């Protein structure tokens, strides 16, 4: 149904833009000197990131199943699978930052050591790079490239 396809497409875009926004916010917060209120904020933002990422998967699968092109269009398309792999890599790269953020919040005392901040920033930058790759594959698969 066209309306279902449209609504899923709108939701998908809202969610993936939110994901990008959350990663940008994390990069702003994860800087030398991170402590106190900003650490609490970072923890909440990172929690939201997990929720939004899960919603992206649900709505994305919804688009595969209920989208106008039909699921066969996607399962036979290499760009679709490239997109899935790139997105899984984003998820894997996010594990370390999430673990560190939880540990920083638990320890609760003073500023986070600079070396740890810089390491987590590198992981987040990796996530940004693979999210960009997801977008490249998304545009390709939508146009039948990789079929
Ligand atoms: C499990 C995860 C995902 C699934 C199953 C999924 C699935 C889909 C499907 C079925 C479409 C419709 C393509 C078409 O019009 O034929 C689509 C489009 C799109 N997806 Fe995803 N997606 C997922 C995650 C993501 C993520 C994480 C991003 C961004 C970072 C993203 C960005 C896009 C964009 C920008 C489009 C529109 C492409 C265009 O029309 O040019 N998707 N996705």
For 23-32, the pLDDT digits (tens) are 999 999 999 9
Length of the chain: 147
Which atom of ligand 1 sits closest to the CA of residue 139?
A: 41
Alpha carbon of 55 to ligand 1 centroid (Å): 12
* Residue 109: per-residue pLDDT: 72
Determine the atom of ligand 1 nearest the C-alpha atom of 16. 29
Q: With a 6 A CB cut-off, is 58 part of the ligand 1 pocket?
A: no
Task: Give the residue carrying structure tokens 């939110």.
Answer: 18
Residue 107 C-alpha to ligand 1 middle, in angstroms? 38
Residues 6+ apart with CB under 8 A from 61: none
In the block, which residue shows the tokens 């998820």? Answer: 91
Digitized pLDDT (tens) for each residue of the chain, 147 residues in all: 899 999 999 999 999 999 999 999 999 999 999 988 999 999 999 999 999 999 999 999 999 999 999 999 999 999 999 999 999 999 999 999 999 999 999 987 778 899 999 999 999 999 999 999 999 999 999 999 988
CA angle 117, 48, 120 (to 5 degrees): 15
Please compute, for residue 46, the number of CA atoms within 13 A of its CA located in the half-sphere on the CB side. Answer: 26
Measured by CA distance, the residue closest to atom 4 of ligand 1 is 60
Q: How far is the CA of 37 from the centre of ligand 1 (A)?
A: 35
From 110, 86, 111, 102, select the one nearest 16 (Cα to Cα). Answer: 86
What is the Cα–Cα distance from 106 to 103, expressed in whole angstroms?
A: 5
Residue 86 contacts residue 128 (beta carbons within 8 Å)? no
Residues 6+ apart with CB under 8 A from 64: 71, 74, 75
Looking at the CA of residue 73, tell me the nearest atom of ligand 1.
16
Any atom of ligand 1 within 6 Å of the Cβ of 142? yes
Give the model's pLDDT for residue 69: 96
Q: E strands of the chain, at which residues?
A: none
pLDDT value for 15: 98
pTM above 0.85, yes or no: yes
Give yes or no for residue 16 CB within 6 A of ligand 1.
Answer: yes
What would the two tokens of residue 33 be?
């000197």
């Amino acid at each position: 149904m066209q309306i279902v396809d449209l609504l899923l497409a709108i939701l998908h875009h809202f969610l993936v833009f939110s994901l990008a926004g959350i990663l940008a916010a994390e990069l702003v917060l994860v800087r030398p000197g991170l402590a106190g209120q900003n650490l609490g904020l970072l923890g909440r933002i990172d929690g939201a990131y997990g929720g939004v990422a899960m919603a992206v998967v649900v709505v994305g699968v919804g688009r595969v199943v209920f989208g106008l092109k039909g699921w066969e269009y996607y399962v036979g398309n290499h760009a679709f699978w490239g997109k899935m792999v790139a997105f899984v890599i984003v998820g894997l790269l996010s594990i370390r930052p999430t673990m560190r953020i939880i540990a920083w919040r638990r320890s609760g005392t003073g500023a986070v050591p600079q070396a740890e901040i810089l390491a987590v920033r590198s992981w987040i930058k990796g996530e940004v790079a693979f999210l960009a790759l997801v977008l490249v594959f998304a545009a390709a698969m939508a146009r039948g490239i990789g079929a």
